Chain A
Amino acid sequence: MTASLTSSPASSTLERVARGRSRRAARRRGVVVVLVLLVVGVLALSLMVGRTFYPPGDVLRVIGGQDVPGASFTVGRLRLPRAVLALLAGLCFGLAGVTFQTMLRNPLASPDIIGISAGSSAAAAVAIVTFGLSGTAVSFLAIVVGLGVALLIYVLSFRDGVAGTRLILIGIGIAAMLESVIAYVLSTAAAWDLQEATRWLTGSLNSASWDDVLPTLLALVVLGRLLLTRAGDLDMLQLGDDAASALGVRVEQTRVLVIVAAVGLVAFATAATGPIAFVAFLAGPIAARIVGPGASLLVPSALVGALLVLVADLAGQLAFDHRYPVGVVTGVLGAPYLVYLIVRTNRAGGSL
């Protein structure tokens, strides 16, 4: 088998192809490096500032396990789990969001729009308000129901294969139903605990603890890695199911695997923090903007997600008179971008 049609390609063409590719690869690497630096920077900042400021030295010593009066409690027990959970949840949401958007070829089709997060939220709300559960039981239910709802959406949209458009619309219908369940459950809550309610409606890090961090970390390691190994196939799916299949991608198998992994990430993160509004939605498109077209968006988008949550949580605690939970901040900051994104998507008729 020869490598070309008639003869080997002209060296000028070859050079042009190779140059273009390495330029884009370099840009993507650069973006990832900058994003990692930013995430680390904001993470460090969120450990230092707060009602009391602790210098980097104190923070480092606390992380190193030394006992620093005051700082050990504030940084070690309050700020550290909160910041780590923000980081992990952001990574999960960013990764899951961009996965759905890439797979369904529609930037509006993120888990928070098509009902995936709503499943976990509704389960948690029912578990807390109606059955009076707490802690691990709530997280467990949120995860199981989140997966169940995703499965339901998938099954309902299956007719001679799953069409992305149908899946999105059915997800919207399910989300509407679940939201009314949440609304009802909250309306029957004996004491209308605004804090707890907001957590399950928009997401909050206020009660972050190491107990929340561990399952989220496990999910990220297992499911996130699974997603990353499928990054190539996921990119192929953007060309349409037929073209992807012709290029050697097992479309249905990839889709099921990727959905399970992404839904798992969303469910675990939602169980820990509630559905932090719009992070899954925004991370992908923002990453696509920075990285440029053609490259895999999974890693950049996860980093953007983490950055969004960290910055929004910091802003929610410090920037306003009233302390806002992180989900309200991302919701309000994200809304205009979301509107802009709808306008742009519809005008271009395109994908991510």
Chain B
Amino acid sequence: MTADHTLTVHDLELGYGERTVIDSLDLVLPPGRVTAIVGANACGKSTLLRSMSRLLRPRTGQVLLDGKQVHRLPAKELARTLGLLPQAPTAPEGITVSDLVGRGRNPHQGLLSRWSTEDDAAVAAALEATDTVELADRPVDELSGGQRQRVWIAMALAQQTDVLLLDEPTTYLDVSHQVEVLDLLTDLNRNRGTTIVMVLHDLNLAARYADHLVALTGGRLHAAGDPHQVLTEETVRAVFGLDCSVITDPVSGRPLMLPIGRHHMAVTRS
């Protein structure tokens, strides 16, 4: 089991240029758990994730990892504890899968130290965990969308961080690959105790896979906590401006959101 690391956000304000994206946000991300951040488009989900991994400097407030400001930590030291898979990473043309996964070892290598057997072992383990061993020698360009996403996750795994942030890891994937990726992340959380924080678009998948749900609206925190408490009809109305009905998912026992539009009403609601 890995050491538990707590990521906290304190009175955070973020923005690009004139625009403020996140405003006075306080947040504690429970260690060793899976957290999903949900919210409408442009509510600041990705911005928050970028700031938590040091990509964006806060205007005010702090992002703290175990009480230390992430923006003050040395880059490589942070990268050994906290990993990020951005939304649209680019693979260099022609790079093979195992080379790309090997790039995840960067924070563990010093200026002069050479590639070690430990690095090989980490890459091999990441390939096995993501079921990409058979792809190891193939160029990344040739892979399908689902395979490619698994390879990127393998790279993040090779980084061997205790906290892993993922920005919409399921976009562009069909439904079976979405489930596959989320199952993989759940394995990672259960078997290794890795703290997972991800931005997800699909509310129902978020409610199913997350232990902790964070709902943002307009750059502010609307609700955070257990999915049963967060995914309610009121929250969905407040965050998405959408009427819905929330029932219990017969498969997982988690809440399931059913949107209500202006048409196709089989049952009149009271």
Interface set of A (CB-CB < 8 Å, partner B):
1-6, 8-10, 13-14, 16-18, 20-21, 24, 105, 159-160, 229, 232, 235-236, 238-243, 245-250, 288, 292-294, 348, 350-352
Rounded to whole Å, the gap between the CB of A35 and the closest CB of chain B is 20
Instruction: Tell me whether B160 is interfacial, beta carbon within 8 Å.
Output: yes
Q: Which of A16, A21, A247, A348 contacts B79 (CB 8 A)?
A: A247
Which chain A residues lie closer than 8 Å to B2 at the CB level? 1-2
The answer to whether A3 and B99 touch across the interface, beta carbons within 8 angstroms, is no
Q: Is B94 an interface residue (CB 8 A)?
A: yes
A21 B98 Cβ-Cβ under 8 A: yes
Instruction: Assess A293 versus B90: contact at CB under 8 Å? Given A1-B3, A5-B187, A246-B83.
Output: no
Q: Does B61 contact A (CB under 8 A)?
A: no
Stretch of B36-44, B132-140, B172-180, B234-242 that contacts chain A? B132-140
With A17-B98, A248-B107 as contacts: A6 and B93 at CB distance below 8 Å:
no
6 tightest CB-CB pairs across the interface, nearest first?
A248-B79, A350-B93, A293-B94, A4-B125, A242-B86, A246-B84
Q: Is B88 part of the binding interface, using a Cβ–Cβ cutoff of 8 Å?
A: yes
Measured CB to CB, the nearest residue on chain A to B83 is A246
Is A24 touching B17 in the complex (CB atoms < 8 A)?
no
Contacting residues, chain A, for B50 (C-beta < 8 A): 242
Q: Which one of A3, A5, A243, A294 contacts B85 once the chains associate, using CB atoms below 8 Å?
A: A243
Question: With the chains together, A8 CA to B117 CA distance in Å?
Answer: 12
Count A-B contacts at CB 8 Å. Answer: 161
Contact B106 A249 (CB under 8 A): yes
**Chain B residues, CB < 8 A from A2:** 2, 192
Q: Which residue of B lies closest to A1 (CB)?
A: B2
Question: B86: which A residues are within 8 A, CB to CB?
Answer: 240, 242-243, 246
Which residues of the partner chain A approach B124 to less than 8 Å between Cβ atoms? 9-10, 13-14, 16-17
Residues of B within 8 A of A245 (CB): 53-55, 75, 84
Residues of B within 8 A of A293 (CB): 92-96, 99, 139
Pick 9 A–B contacts, CB within 8 A, sort by A: A14-B120, A14-B121, A16-B98, A238-B90, A240-B86, A247-B79, A247-B83, A248-B75, A293-B139
Q: Interface of B with A (CB < 8 Å)?
A: 2-3, 16-17, 50, 53-55, 75-80, 82-96, 98-100, 102-104, 106-107, 109, 111, 115, 117-118, 120-125, 127-129, 133, 136-137, 139, 141, 156-157, 159-160, 162, 165, 187-188, 191-192
Chain B residues, Cβ within 8 Å of A247? 79, 83, 103-104, 106-107, 159
CB of A294 within 8 A of CB of B118, answer no
Which residues does chain A contribute within 8 Å of B99, judged by CB atoms? 21, 24, 293-294
Known: A21-B98, A240-B88. A348 touches B141 (CB 8 A): yes
Q: Chain A residues with Cβ under 8 A from B83's Cβ?
A: 246-247
Known: A16-B98, A17-B136. 7 other contacts (CB 8 A): A14-B120, A16-B136, A17-B98, A242-B86, A288-B94, A292-B94, A293-B94
Q: Is the CB of B90 within 8 A of A248?
A: no
Which of A8, A14, A16, A294 has a CB less than 8 Å from the CB of B95? A294
B80 touching A294, Cβ below 8 Å: no
Of B89, B123, B127, which one neighbours A240 at CB under 8 angstroms?
Answer: B89
Q: Which residues of B lie under 8 Å from residue A246 when comparing CB positions?
A: 53, 55, 79, 82-86, 156, 159, 165
Instruction: Check A351/B92 contact, CB under 8 A, given A8-B125, A18-B120, A243-B86.
Output: yes
Chain A min CB distance to B79 (Å): 3
User: Quick check: B127 and A13 within 8 Å, CB to CB?
Assistant: yes
Residues of B within 8 A of A160 (CB): 16-17
CB distance from A115 to the nearest CB of B (A): 24
B93 interface neighbour in A16, A24, A240, A352, Cβ under 8 Å: A352
Given known contacts A249-B106, A292-B94, A293-B96, A5 and B125 CB-to-CB distance under 8 angstroms: yes
Chain A residues near B98: list those with CB within 8 A: 16-17, 20-21
Cβ-defined partner of A239 (8 Å) among B103, B107, B188: B103
A5 touches B94 (CB 8 A): no
A164 to chain B, nearest CB (A): 10
Asked if A249 meets B75 with Cβ closer than 8 Å, knowing A2-B192, A159-B17, A239-B103, the reply is: yes
Quick check: B121 and A9 within 8 Å, CB to CB? yes
Q: How far is the CA of A5 from the CA of B132 in the complex (A)?
A: 14
| Cα-based distance from A201 to B99 in the complex (angstroms) | 41
Complex interface: chain B residues within 8 A of A243 (CB): 84-86, 89-90
Instruction: Name the residue of chain A whose CB is nearest to the CB of B17.
Output: A160
**A21 and B102 form a contact (CB under 8 A):** yes
Cβ-closest chain B residue relative to A24: B99
- What's the Cα separation between A6 and B79 when bound, in Å? 22
In whole angstroms, what is the CA distance A294 to B115 when docked? 14
Shortest C-beta distance, B99 to chain A (Å), equals 4
Chain B positions within 8 Å of A351 at CB level: 90, 92-93
Instruction: Count chain A CB atoms within 10 A of each CB in B78, B79, B188 and give the residue with the most.
Output: B79
Q: What are the residues of chain B within 8 A of A1 when measuring CB–CB?
A: 2-3, 160, 162
Chain A residues positioned under 8 Å from B125 (CB to CB): 3-5, 8-9
Find out whether the CB atom of B120 lies under 8 angstroms from the CB atom of A348.
no
Report the Cα distance A288→B127, complex, angstroms.
Answer: 26
**A246-B53, A293-B94 in contact; A236/B139 too (CB < 8 A)?**
no
